[in-house]
């Protein structure tokens, strides 16, 4: 029977392969199981048990049992072979234990701590939520998020924030789980402190009532949100945003101006601006607070606080106007832009044997700084709304004084600008001093006294006189006006004074010649011999001609002096 089954096994495999190659419809048809055949009771009643067993015999069940037995036999053989191989294998020697001197307790604790720290840090953490990143991104202005490479930059920032978040979470987990032992070798291990609870309001208890109470208190005291004050703010903005107390940006177009004239113009402009504001802006503010709904919602016990807020708002608006005016004035002296720089009229004078500026540099600086002071003095007597409505005998004014740091900044900036713009006029003045200062410092007088003390003939006198007369002509030929960025310098008075000084020295020498001529008038020929040439003999034609030449030169000098006086 067993051999029969073995012989039929290849056939069964062929049948199985043929079944696999059949179509799905054929498989379904073959897989249909028919109900068992039930013999009639009349037939089965006479069947013996042996015959009945043959009728119930199923061949596929026998084949299944046979295959199962074959598999079990092969598995048992493999198991027995593996067991014998394991028994015959040489056992692995145990890991040698290090002596206690080589593996100390501190080393074990250190290695154990580092191992556990690595294990804890390698555990996954909860990632940051995307909505948190988007909430952070909302705080970035829209203008900074738009652009060619902004999306890539945002992604990089998100990645950086995510990495920082994960590292912080890992440090927090390590710090909260492990405690670093106090052993050698762990000194460089950073132990981040545990995050502390955020400081702020404690919401552990009921807070809604206290919140409502604080909100009502803020509303009752924060009067700046009152509708009337919003209107006051709008009135001040529309009135002050386009004006200045004094605008000097176009003052340069008027030409050079004197210091006193500039002071008067600035004072007049400040007064006009103040009168204009008090006749336009201030009445509008008064009308605003005389309405019935001006104090709507303000309790009677909060009226003083409300008017104090009004006074503060008006003071801030006026202070801002004065500050903007000072800044605009200081900006005129910007060294990078001198198109609107003020142009002053100054002179170089010659008075009492001295060459100097008029007005002086100190007067010029005082004039420029005076404008800052005058701006600060404007709008200092504006009455408060509460005082005006109360109508008391004593009036309370607004605090509109400029801040000290604004005045200090303006003064220091203007002084530096003045010094820089005066470098050119100083150099121009020094050129006069270097070239003609010897006329007034006593050097010229010493030269004349020395010359007169010596014995000189008429030709030498004429050369010396020509030097002074030429110097006078040179001085008068110099330009009358010198132009600088902040100054137009008039030099006519200094020129005339120096020219007159040079001519006075020439007259002094001429008077000396005339005096010598009168002293020797009794012996004219001898005088001419001494003045003209010692080689000429008396009574000759040469001496006569030389005498006429000397008299002609004297007459020529007299005519030159008259012409210089006429030119003057």
What's the full length of the chain, in residues?
568
> Cα–Cα–Cα angle for 464, 466, 468, nearest 5°?
80
> Cα–Cα–Cα angle for 150, 154, 157, nearest 5°?
135
User: What count of other Cβ atoms lies within 10 Å of the Cβ of residue 517?
Assistant: 17
478 alpha carbon, distance to own chain's centre: 49
Query: For the residues 145-174, what does the mean pLDDT come to?
Result: 85
Which letter does DSSP use for residue 257 in this model? B
391: left (phi over 0), alpha (psi -120 to 50) or beta: left
Better-predicted residue by pLDDT, 549 or 248: 248
Q: What is the pLDDT of residue 26?
A: 53
Q: Is the dihedral of CA 385, 386, 387, 392 positive or negative?
A: positive
Tokens of 166: 């994960």
Question: Is residue 454's pLDDT more than 90?
Answer: no
Tokens of 149: 């490479």
Q: What is the pLDDT of residue 9?
A: 43
Roughly how many angstroms between the first and final C-alpha of the chain, as a whole number?
A: 163
From CA 30, how far away is CA 23, in angstroms rounded? Answer: 11
From CA 166, how far away is CA 125, in angstroms rounded? Answer: 7
Q: Determine which helix (DSSP H) or strand (DSSP E) holds 482, and give its type and residue range.
A: strand 481-484
From CA 49, how far away is CA 172, in angstroms rounded? Answer: 82
122 alpha carbon, distance to own chain's centre: 45
Question: Is residue 251's pLDDT more than 50?
Answer: yes
110-114, 335-339, 421-425, 513-517: least confident range: 513-517
From CA 344, how far away is CA 252, in angstroms rounded? Answer: 9
63 alpha carbon, distance to own chain's centre: 96
Q: Name beta bridge partners: 347.
A: 358, 490
**pTM for the full model?**
0.57
Q: Name beta bridge partners: 357.
A: 348
CB contact at 8 A, 268 and 246:
no
The residue ranges of every structural domain in the chain are: 108-177, 221-420, 423-567
From CA 500, how far away is CA 33, in angstroms rounded? Answer: 150
> Cα–Cα–Cα angle for 477, 466, 438, nearest 5°?
70
Which of 405-409, 469-473, 526-530, 552-556 shows the highest mean pLDDT? 405-409
User: What count of other Cβ atoms lies within 10 Å of the Cβ of residue 361?
Assistant: 15
> Confidence class of residue 505 from pLDDT cuts 50, 70 and 90?
confident
Tokens of 241: 């945003």
User: What count of other Cβ atoms lies within 10 Å of the Cβ of residue 6?
Assistant: 10
103-107, 118-122, 254-258: least confident range: 103-107
SS (H, E, C) 322-363: HHHHHHHHHHCCCCCCCCCCCCEEEEEEEECCEEEEECCHHH
Angle between helices 361-376 and 259-289 (to 10 degrees): 10
Q: What is the pLDDT of residue 384?
A: 93
From CA 233, how far away is CA 227, in angstroms rounded? Answer: 10
Tokens of 218: 């803020």
Question: Is residue 52's pLDDT more than 90?
Answer: no
Long-range (24+ apart) CB contacts under 8 A made by 403-411 are 403/319, 403/323, 406/323, 406/326, 407/326, 407/372, 407/376, 409/330, 410/326, 410/327, 410/329, 410/330, 410/372, 411/369, 411/372
pLDDT digits (tens, 9 = 90+) for 281-330: 999 999 999 998 888 888 888 888 899 999 999 999 999 999 999 999 99
Q: Name beta bridge partners: 204.
A: none
pLDDT digits (tens, 9 = 90+) for 199-248: 665 656 677 788 888 888 887 788 888 889 999 999 999 999 989 999 99
CB contact at 8 A, 250 and 341:
no
CB contact at 8 A, 469 and 508:
no
The torsion defined by the Cα of 214, 217, 222 and 227, in degrees rounded to 10, comes to: 110
CB contact at 8 A, 448 and 508:
yes
Pairing of strands 487-490, 354-358: unpaired
Alpha helices in 358-402 (DSSP H): 361-376, 385-390
């Amino acid at each position: 029977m067993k051999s029969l089954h073995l012989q039929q096994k290849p056939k069964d495999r062929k049948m199985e392969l043929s079944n696999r190659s059949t179509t799905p419809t054929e498989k379904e048809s073959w897989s249909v199981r028919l109900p068992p055949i039930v013999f009639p009771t009349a037939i089965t009643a006479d069947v013996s048990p042996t015959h009945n067993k043959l009728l119930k015999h199923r061949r596929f069940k026998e084949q299944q049992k046979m295959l199962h037995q074959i598999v079990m036999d092969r598995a048992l053989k493999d198991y027995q072979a593996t067991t014998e191989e394991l028994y015959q294998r040489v056992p692995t020697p145990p890991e040698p234990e290090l002596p206690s001197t080589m593996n100390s307790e501190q080393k074990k604790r250190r290695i154990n701590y580092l191992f556990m720290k690595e294990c804890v840090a390698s555990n996954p953490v909860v990632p940051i939520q995307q909505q948190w990143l988007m909430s952070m991104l909302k705080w970035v202005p829209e203008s900074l998020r738009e652009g060619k490479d902004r999306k890539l930059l945002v992604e990089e920032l998100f990645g950086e924030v995510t990495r920082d978040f994960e590292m912080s979470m890992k440090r927090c987990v390590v710090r909260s789980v492990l405690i670093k032992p106090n052993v050698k070798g762990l000194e460089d291990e950073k132990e981040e402190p545990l995050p502390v609870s955020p400081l702020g309001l404690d919401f552990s208890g009921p807070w809604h009532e206290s919140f409502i109470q604080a909100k009502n208190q803020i509303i009752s005291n924060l009067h700046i949100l009152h509708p009337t004050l919003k209107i006051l703010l709008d009135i001040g903005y529309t009135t002050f945003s386009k004006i200045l107390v004094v605008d000097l940006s176009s003052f340069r177009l008027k030409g050079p101006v004197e210091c006193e004239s500039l002071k008067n113009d600035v004072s007049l402009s400040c007064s006009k601006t103040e009168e204009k504001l008090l006749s336009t802006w201030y009445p509008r503010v008064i009308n605003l607070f005389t309405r019935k709904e001006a104090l709507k919602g303000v309790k009677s016990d909060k009226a003083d606080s409300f008017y104090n807020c009004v006074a503060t708002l008006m003071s801030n608006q006026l202070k801002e106007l004065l500050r903007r005016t000072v800044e605009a004035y200081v900006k005129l002296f910007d060294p990078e832009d001198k198109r609107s720089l003020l142009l002053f009229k100054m002179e170089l004078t010659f008075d009492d044997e001295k060459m100097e500026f008029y007005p002086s540099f100190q007067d010029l600086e005082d004039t420029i700084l005076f404008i800052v002071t005058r701006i600060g003095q404007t709008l200092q007597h504006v009455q408060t709304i509460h005082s005006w409505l109360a109508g008391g005998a004593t009036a309370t004014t607004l605090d509109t004084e400029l801040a000290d740091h604004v005045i200090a900044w303006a003064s220091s900036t203007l002084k530096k600008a003045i010094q820089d713009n005066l470098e050119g006029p100083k150099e121009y003045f020094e050129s006069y001093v270097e070239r003609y200062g010897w006329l007034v410092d006593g050097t010229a007088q010493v030269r004349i006294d020395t010359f007169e003390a010596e014995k000189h003939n008429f030709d030498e006198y004429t050369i010396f006189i020509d030097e002074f007369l030429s110097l006078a002509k040179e001085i008068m030929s110099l330009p009358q006006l010198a132009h600088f960025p902040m100054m137009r310098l008039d030099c006519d008075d200094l020129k005339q004074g120096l020219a007159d000084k040079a001519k006075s020295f020439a007259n002094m020498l001429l008077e000396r010649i005339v005096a010598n001529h009168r002293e020797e008038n009794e012996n004219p020929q001898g005088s001419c011999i001494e003045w003209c040439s010692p080689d000429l003999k008396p009574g000759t034609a040469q001496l006569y001609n030389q005498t006429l030449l000397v008299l002609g030169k004297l007459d020529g000098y007299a005519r030159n002096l008259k012409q210089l006086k006429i030119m003057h």
